[in-house]
Amino acid sequence: MSLLKRFDDDLKEALKASESAKVSVLRMVKAAAKNKQIEKGRELTDDEIVSVLSSMVKQGRESIEQFTKAGRMDLARNEEREVAILQSYMPQQLSHEDLDRIISDAIQEASARTPQDMGKVMRILMPRVKGVADGKYVNQRVKELLESGGSTQS
């Protein structure tokens, strides 16, 4: 079943069950997917929809960080609920061990030795982990591994 069909079915269920948070999130997702579809001028693939979800999760995490810094825990909790709903539609995230292995492979493939080689590594790495790992964490981990000489023993 395509993700868009799943969104439609889940939206109907959430409306029947009066789950206002889920209804709100699913409507946001459908609107964002529709905007992307209009931008592309064609139907979206599930991978493109996952990309839209990833962007929304990233935005939600940034909002949580900002709300927490501002002492607005009520808004941060609300945003956390929304992010959790969004993540339930995304592919299973990679474990830290699996991610480290993929990063190490990309470092070797790029012949990277120093943090200045980070761009080469990220170009190889991001298509492999798109949708299954947080980009901010991937970036941080690549930097750590390059600074430590490229090994995953840290």
- List, by residue range, all CATH 1.10.1510.10 domains of the chain: 3-87
The predicted structure's pLDDT at residue 79: 95
The predicted structure's pLDDT at residue 154: 40
Rounded CA-CA distance 22/86 in Å is: 9
Domain 96-147 CATH (choose: 1.20.1050.10, 1.10.10.410, 2.40.70.10, 3.30.70.360) = 1.10.10.410
Question: 131: which 2 tokens?
Answer: 């949708």
3-state SS, the chain, equals: CCHHHHHHHHHHHHHHCCCHHHHHHHHHHHHHHHHHHHHHCCCCCHHHHHHHHHHHHHHHHHHHHHHHHCCCHHHHHHHHHHHHHHHCCCCCCCCHHHHHHHHHHHHHHCCCCCHHHHHHHHHHHHHHHCCCCCHHHHHHHHHHHHHCCCCCCC
**What's this model's pTM, rounded to 2 decimal places?**
0.71
Mean pLDDT per 10-residue segment, the chain (154 residues): 87 94 94 93 88 90 94 94 91 86 90 86 87 83 82 46
The predicted structure's pLDDT at residue 150: 54
The predicted structure's pLDDT at residue 115: 85
- List, by residue range, all CATH 1.10.10.410 domains of the chain: 96-147
Q: Which residues of 29-43 are buried (b: 16+ CB within 10 A; e: fewer)?
A: beebbeeebeeeeee
Instruction: Say which CATH class 3-87 falls into.
Output: mainly alpha
Query: For residue 48, how many other CB atoms are within 10 A of its CB?
Result: 16
